[in-house]
DNA sequence: CCTTTGGTTGACGTTAACGTAAACGTTAGG
DNA sequence: CCTAACGTTTACGTTAACGTCAACCAAAGG
């Protein structure tokens, strides 16, 4: 029942990325596809990691930052020291993300206010907007 | 009382950016410092815009995306058509940001869970963590 | 007058994150 | 057997967002 494996083409289809991107991520040790002969096979784990990568990118994290975070999600066997470092790094990232969320909340509020302003200005000029 | 003007050095100090960055942003038409002779002078408006730029960058927006958003915050005189477009673009961005916030919320929850897991693992190994 | 201090304009260098093209292997169908 | 379809490696190209360096100007202080 090794049907959980996917070829590179299927991966590209599923996650809307190019082969180049997947090979690049492998080279950067973000994912670890196995080989069947020459060809790459992507496991469920690879897919989970890819999801996190794409998510991380949306938040403006660099691939290197993401790579470190990813380790947190697969810390079965590591030595305790390494694990502790990873753990602390993740805490930092968490603070990062919570801070970003705060900021984002504020920015959204600001933007909404501006939009309201735009509303009235456009209304004053007699422009009808598409009802949301 | 034109004391609201700041030199490039003061700007760098205040916002922790390099002169190069500010000149670059000017070249990209993100900010519009005036000149006193040769030297750039940054107004309150420039500062507000810079703040938004730096904020936007933290959320992973490109400078080009930011440039377009910035227009929303200074739409005094524009023609109505242009204004409408800007307005709609801003709505899109807003949806973007709210979506990002959602995602971020989820990601934070996930990460917290993982950290809890790390907690117990480390505890099992007898590692004492710095009390938060 | 001379030298800091702070600013200027090019112009080339750099890093991240891929894109793109060349040249090749390997099944599967007609 | 030929040729698509799908995959591979190697290597150079590209874009964004600045960094870095050289050569220069100008006001202010000793």
Among B58, B95, B109, pick the best mutation site for testing chain A contact (most A Cβ within 10 A).
B58
% of chain A beyond a pLDDT of 70:
83
pLDDT-derived band of residue A100, with 50, 70 and 90 as boundaries?
confident
Residues of the domain holding B100: 84-125
Least confident of A6-10, B2-6, B50-54: B2-6
Same domain, B22 and B70: yes
Among A121, A126, A128, A132, pick the best mutation site for testing chain B contact (most B Cβ within 10 A).
A121
Question: How many domains in chain A?
Answer: 2
pLDDT of A120:
75
Same domain, B4 and B66: yes
pLDDT of B63:
94
Alpha-carbon distances, residue B67 vs A24, B24, B107 (angstroms): 30, 13, 28
Least confident of A45-59, A91-105, A114-128, B84-98: A114-128
Digit-coded pLDDT (tens) for A41-77: 999 999 999 999 998 898 888 999 899 888 777 665 5
Least confident of B3-12, B95-104, B108-117: B108-117
pLDDT-derived band of residue A7, with 50, 70 and 90 as boundaries?
very high
User: Do B55 and B17 contact (CB within 8 A), yes or no?
Assistant: no
Same domain, A98 and A50: no
Report which of A56, A27, A22, A57 is spatially closest to residue A42, judged by C-alpha positions.
A22
pLDDT-derived band of residue A78, with 50, 70 and 90 as boundaries?
low
Q: Residues with Cβ < 8 Å from B104, sequence gap 6 or more?
A: A59, A97, A100, A101, A104
Digit-coded pLDDT (tens) for B57-66: 988 889 998 9
Same domain, A52 and A96: no
Q: Tell whether the model's pLDDT for residue A6 goes beyond 70.
A: yes
Pairwise CB contact (< 8 Å): A55 & B125: no
Same domain, B90 and B70: no
CATH number at residue A59: 1.10.1660.10
């Amino acid at each position: 029942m090794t049907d959980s494996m996917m070829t590179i083409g299927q991966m590209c289809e599923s996650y809307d990325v190019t082969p180049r991107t997947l090979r690049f991520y492998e080279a950067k040790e973000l994912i670890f596809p196995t080989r069947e002969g020459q060809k790459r096979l992507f496991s469920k784990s690879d897919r989970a990691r890819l999801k996190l990568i794409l998510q991380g990118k949306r938040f403006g994290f660099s691939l290197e930052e993401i790579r470190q975070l990813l380790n947190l999600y697969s810390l079965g066997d590591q030595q305790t020291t390494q694990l502790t470092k990873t753990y602390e790094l993740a805490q930092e990232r968490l603070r990062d993300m919570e801070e970003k969320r705060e900021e984002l909340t504020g920015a959204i509020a600001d933007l909404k206010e501006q939009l309201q302003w735009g509303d009235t200005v456009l209304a004053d000029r007699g422009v009808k907007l598409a009802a949301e």
